[in-house]
Amino acid sequence: MGSNGIRIGLIGVAHRAAMAQNLDKDDRAKIVAGADTSWAFLDQFRKQYAHNSPAVTNDWRKLVERDDIDAVGVFTPDYLHAEPTIAALEAGKHVYCEKPMAIKTADCDAMLAAWKRSGKHLMVGMNMRYMDAFLAFKDIIDSGQLGEVKAVWVRHFVGFGGWAYFHDYRANADMATGLLLQKASHDIDMIHFLTGRFTKRVVAMGALDFFGGDKPDDLVCTECDEKDTCTDFSDRPGKAQCCFRKGVDIEDHSMLLMDLGDVRANYVQCHYATETTRNYLVIGGDGMAELTGNKITVKTQKANNTKARARARFATATYDVGPAKGGHGGADPEICRAFLDLILDGKQPHVTPEAGRMAVAVGCAATESIRGGNKPMDISGVS
């Protein structure tokens, strides 16, 4: 470790890697190197971290081999997470891997095996575990005021689904598996986090109802005759493939049922909604709690000995967690801080590598259920 703290290299320096600036702002660490296939992105990276005179390369293997790097952040496209993570661990580096951990459960298992062999730390970027609203929501559940939790309902409408997920590789199953993995891994993980249980069995339904179509696969939005009227126009570099192209082969609307042993959960996701809403409802024997945005509503039973439970009154409490500072509901700076705390102090974060793997396992099994005629799927545990 260098005299100025943990020396970190980034594999993938654009897009989600922007969160790594929180690491560099911490006195305990600095960004000293970056690898990317795009020299344009590397030039921007070099300017952003000019105060550290960072080394740059378009070959991530050269970055992993460097002796002057203590830890690596993996911010590549999802289907490229496994190989650099495993290589970095084998080279004796601590690793922060952006979510989802991988797009195949087998790759996650290989990553876990490399982590256990290495003696180094591996952290998966399940950032919703660090959002203020969800931490407050979990505190309410863990307080016991709802009684024993039995059911969880999650509804996720994505008003920017086309803009975010259907203009690039994430609309293709061979590079993303599906949005019950890529997008829903957050919510699957939160169901695990809030209940303290992992999913054992799933069944799912879904379809490609809106996106996809008969447009050529090489059509980009800026060259389309319908660009002035299309509701899903994009002119972002590398993210402007037509989202109504023939090659789109993932679901844009999915419904998932989850068996967590003594808890049942369901999750609904729609990517062509006209608004963006994420709503959680947790039901226990003595009450229920609902989270929408930053607002929490709790209703608890107020029965007495002379009235039947069916006539019980409820006490209602509402909380507004308020807007948080920092990206992703305040999670980005906190999860970066937690990564450094893990390396330097051994303080265990809210998320484990096993939890990252289980979110992928559920997403993959649910997608297989949809594409296999809605058949029930058992979820293998961590070996």
Q: Are 45 and 37 in contact (CB under 8 A)?
A: no
pTM: 0.93
Amino acid at 194: L
The answer to whether residue 175 sits within a structural domain is: yes
165 and 56: one domain?
no
143 and 13: one domain?
no
Cβ neighbours of 377 (radius 10 Å): 21
Cβ neighbours of 255 (radius 10 Å): 19
66 and 169: one domain?
no
175 and 158: one domain?
yes
Could you identify the residue written with the tokens 């409408």?
157
CATH number, domain with residue 299: 3.30.360.10
What is the Cα–Cα distance from 272 to 158, expressed in whole angstroms? 7
- Per-residue pLDDT tens listing for the chain (383 residues): 666 789 999 999 998 999 999 999 999 999 999 999 999 999 999 999 999 999 999 999 999 999 999 999 999 999 999 999 999 999 999 999 999 999 999 999 999 999 999 999 999 999 999 999 999 999 999 999 999 999 999 999 999 888 899 999 999 999 999 999 999 999 999 999 999 999 999 999 999 999 999 999 999 999 999 999 998 999 988 899 999 999 999 999 999 999 999 999 999 999 999 999 999 999 999 999 999 999 999 999 865 545 555 545 678 888 888 777 778 888 999 999 999 999 999 999 999 999 999 999 999 999 999 999 999 999 998 87
* Two structure tokens written together for 123: 């952290």
Could you give phi then psi for residue 161, rounded to 5 degrees?
A: -55, -45
* Two structure tokens written together for 166: 């259907």
Predicted local confidence at residue 381, as pLDDT: 87
Could you identify the residue written with the tokens 């390396």?
343
The answer to whether residue 234 sits within a structural domain is: no
What is the Cα–Cα distance from 361 to 70, expressed in whole angstroms? 30
* Two structure tokens written together for 178: 């599906």
What is the Cα–Cα distance from 131 to 326, expressed in whole angstroms? 10
Overall domain count for the chain: 2
Q: Give the N- to C-terminal CA distance of the chain in Å, as an integer.
A: 32
- The residue out of 92, 125, 158 marking a domain boundary is 125
What does each C-alpha distance from 273 to 114, 182, 253, 280 come to in angstroms? 40, 18, 10, 17
192 and 50: one domain?
no
Going 267 to 269 to 273 to 276, the CA torsion angle's sign is: positive
Predicted local confidence at residue 3, as pLDDT: 61
Question: HEC states along 70-135?
Answer: CEEEECCCHHHCHHHHHHHHHCCCEEEEECCCCCCHHHHHHHHHHHHHHCCCEEEECHHHHCHHHH
The answer to whether residue 286 sits within a structural domain is: yes
What is the Cα–Cα distance from 292 to 269, expressed in whole angstroms? 15
Q: What kind and span of H or E run contains 202?
A: strand 201-207
The answer to whether residue 148 sits within a structural domain is: yes
> In which domain, by residue range, is 145 found?
129-211+248-331+358-378
70 and 14: one domain?
yes
Amino acid at 61: R
107 and 154: one domain?
no
The DSSP letter of residue 218 is T
Q: Are 381 and 198 in contact (CB under 8 A)?
A: yes
Predicted local confidence at residue 85, as pLDDT: 98
Predicted local confidence at residue 324, as pLDDT: 74
CATH number, domain with residue 77: 3.40.50.720
